[in-house]
Each structure stands twice: as C-alpha cells, then as structure tokens.
Structure 1
Amino acid sequence: MRNLLLYVLLLGFVFNLNAQETDTTDDYNKWQARVRLISVIPSPGDDIEGADVDISTAFVPEIDFTYFFNKNLAVELILGTAKHDVDLNIDGGGSLDLGHVWLLPPTLNLQYHFYADDFKPYVGAGVNYTIFYGIDEGDLDDIDYDNSFGFSLQAGLDYNLNDKWFLNLDLKKLFLKTDVTVNGSPDTSEVNIDPFIVGLGVGMKF
C-alpha cells in the first residue's frame, strides 16, 4: 500500500520532468469535479486487550471538488459516506456482533499536480473530520463512537479524454481513530480504523 503511493509519487516527478521540455502553456481550468466508485478498506489494529476489532470493507460512491490556485497547486474537498459492519473477535475463541455504523469523513487535501500530455499525476495531504452516525448496537445494549479528526495522504492520476472530461484513479490513506464507549461504561477504548481507499471515476473540468 505505502509502496503504491510512493510509486505514484515517483511517476509524477518523472512525468513532470518530461513535461517541462514540451509544456509551454499556462492554460488550466480553475475548477474540476469527479465522481468515483471507491472501496473503503479499514485496517484496525489490536486496540482492545484480549480481542481484535473486525471492520468490514465498503463499496460506495464518492464526489469531490477541486479548486486550482495555479496550474500545479490545488485544494480538493472529498465527500462520501460508508456503512461498516463491526465484529469483536475474542482471543481464544468466540465473537461479538457490534452491529454496524456509518462513517461520514469529509476530507480536505492540498494537492500538487504534474503534467505530461494527457496524463496528470498528483499527490496530496490534508485533514479529515469523521462523523459516526446510524449506529446499530448488534449484541450490545448501547455503543457510542466519538467523532474525531484525522490526517490524509493521497496519490492519483487523471487521464484526459478531451478538453472537458477525464478518467481518474485515486488512492488515499486516512489516519483515523475513535473512542468507543460500550453500555454507558465510564471507560472507553481507542480503536484505530485507518482506512485505505481506492477509487475509480470520471471527472469534468469547468
């Protein structure tokens, strides 16, 4: 996963060096929007003593809007929501159904874009604020997830179909954790979610 992000970054620098020899125009569109189908793949750690948290992968649509300050520097707002089933696997055998929860993690990334003919790789980093809602408690009487801030890394590639439309491949890593409270207990457990997000989509410049 990390190697893939680094590969896209290296590819972008190579494309940018090649493009500097042929690119003589400063023309660019200040706004663009994308629609993607994304796979949200959580990678929780062993945060609860004596048990492992299992969070399901989700496939959902996502939209984003990008504003360019200049040809290379841009900011992107990413919007999407996903439903995840949650289970607690107890060491030594047995499991507990923790129902499901919806995550809404609006993410704002600062991006740098490279240019090489119809290819435009980019990298980015930013912040997200994740809202937990639509909670189903499963086998428990009550479970609560605290909303939280996190960080984001991003790498991707746009491919121009024409002057207006383009295809997109996007990779993101969110560093996200939440405090979980069960059955009103005064004690909380910190759970890392840290999803890896793979997206494919189409975009429009305007």
Structure 2
Amino acid sequence: MKKLALSLVAFGALAAGAAQAQDFTPNAKGDLIVHARLTQVAPAKDAAILTAAGANSGLKAHVGNDIKPTLGFTYFLTDKVAVEAILGTTEHNIRAQGPGTDVLVHKTWVLPPVVTLQYHPLPASQVSPYVGAGLNYMLFYSGKNKNGFTVKVDDGVGYALQAGVNIKMKNSWLVNADVKKVYFSTDAKINGGALKAKVDLDPVVASIGLSRKF
C-alpha cells in the first residue's frame, strides 16, 4: 500500500509539473471535490482477552487489515476551509492468538463514516496539502462467527485526525493521497461474555486515488 501510494503521488507530481498554470484552478468557496480512492483500514493494536472474572487468558484479540474502494466528498466553505465525508465499508477477520494458538473466531463488516473539518493553507497552489480533524462512527454488521465461537462487537463513536494532499491536473482532475488516524475503542464479548476484550482499534485509514472538482 505504501509503495502504491508513493507511486501514484509521484505520477501525479510529474503530471502536475507538466501542466501549465492555466490548466488548473485554485480552491474556491463552493467547490465540490469527489474522490474515488483505494483505501486500507489497518487496526493498530491487539488486545488482551480476559475471562469473565477479569483474569488474563493468555490470548490476544487480533483484528486484520482490509483494502476496499471508497468515495469521499469535499465541500469548500471558503477557499481554505472545507468539510469532507467519506463513504466505504471494509471486512475484517478477528482472531484469537497466543502461544501455540491462532484461531479465526469472527468475520465482520464495518461501516466507518468519517466527517472532518479541513484546513487548506495553499488554496492557489497546484500541490495543495491539507490537515483536518473530525468524528467517526463505527458500525459493525453482517458478522459471521467461526470455529464454534460467538462474538459480539459494540458500535460506537470515535474521533479522527487527518493529513493529505491534492495535486491539481488538467480539466479539474486531481490526484489525492490521504491518511487518517481514527481513535476508537470497542468492547468485544466472546461466547456470551465467558471471554471479553477491550480493543483499542485506533486504525490508520490510508487512501490514494483520482478526484474531480465540480
């Protein structure tokens, strides 16, 4: 994913360098950018699995990564301030891991809409970085229990920090690279609460793609 991101950004930089100044337009109030991206959601941490009494079982809950296409919508309130919302869904494996143990216990889809308020310091630049912060909601759905285990994962609200860059090209097209750090914790119950884990998912949401300004 990192190599792909670097390659696309490098391509966009070359394309931007080849374009003439009149071929792109500065950010302006009322602009809408639609992003079509490839996004990786990578949870950052494992969590200890405890017994109902709170004793450490010696196992950890591990949530795997996934890559899926996503959409993003950025609307400029001013030439420097914008609001972005992303839409997409990913599927993740939850495994119980420990000494001599690596068992798939659950597969779940997650819908993690994120809304951020962004600041674009260089609205007239062809290479336009931005930073942002906002909220997200994690909705787990279509879960499938595996290998005789039952798992329930709680939905909830988190917050996100964001950094990215738009590289403006001809005819209102852009190359976009974007990274969000989402801070979110959830409670997971295994086998009706016989085992439990408090999982600080805190995923990195890394995206690359092509965008169009309207």
Fold match (TM-score > 0.5): yes
Q: Does 1:38 pair with 2:43?
A: no
Query: What residue is the counterpart of 2:112 in the other structure?
Result: 105
The equivalent position to 1:89 in structure 2, one of 97, 100, 103, is 97
Identical aligned residues as a percent: 33
Query: What residue is the counterpart of 2:9 in the other structure?
Result: none
Aligned residues: 181
Q: What is the Cα deviation at residue 95 of structure 1? A: 2.7
Asked whether the 8 Å contact 1:108–1:127 carries over to 2, the reply is yes
1:147-185: CA deviations, max 9, x gaps?
A: 110110110000001251100011111111211122222
Q: Does 1:132 pair with 2:140?
A: yes
Q: Where does structure 1 lack aligned partners over 5 or more consecutive residues? A: 1-24
1:72-119: CA deviations, max 9, x gaps?
A: 1111011110001111112x3223321311110001001001226311
Amino acid at match of 2:111: L
With normalisation by structure 1, the TM-score equals 0.81
Asked whether the 8 Å contact 1:159–1:167 carries over to 2, the reply is yes
Q: Where does structure 2 lack aligned partners over 5 or more consecutive residues? A: 1-25, 50-55
Amino acid at match of 2:120: H
RMSD, aligned α-carbons: 1.9
Asked whether the 8 Å contact 1:47–1:192 carries over to 2, the reply is no
Amino acid at match of 1:95: D
Tell me the SS of whatever aligns to 1:184. Answer: helix
With normalisation by structure 2, the TM-score equals 0.78
Amino acid at match of 1:190: K
Q: Which runs of 4+ in 1 moved over 6 A?
A: none
Q: Which moved more, 1:64-73 or 1:133-142?
A: 133-142
| C-alpha separation in 2, matches of 1:27 and 1:183 | 54
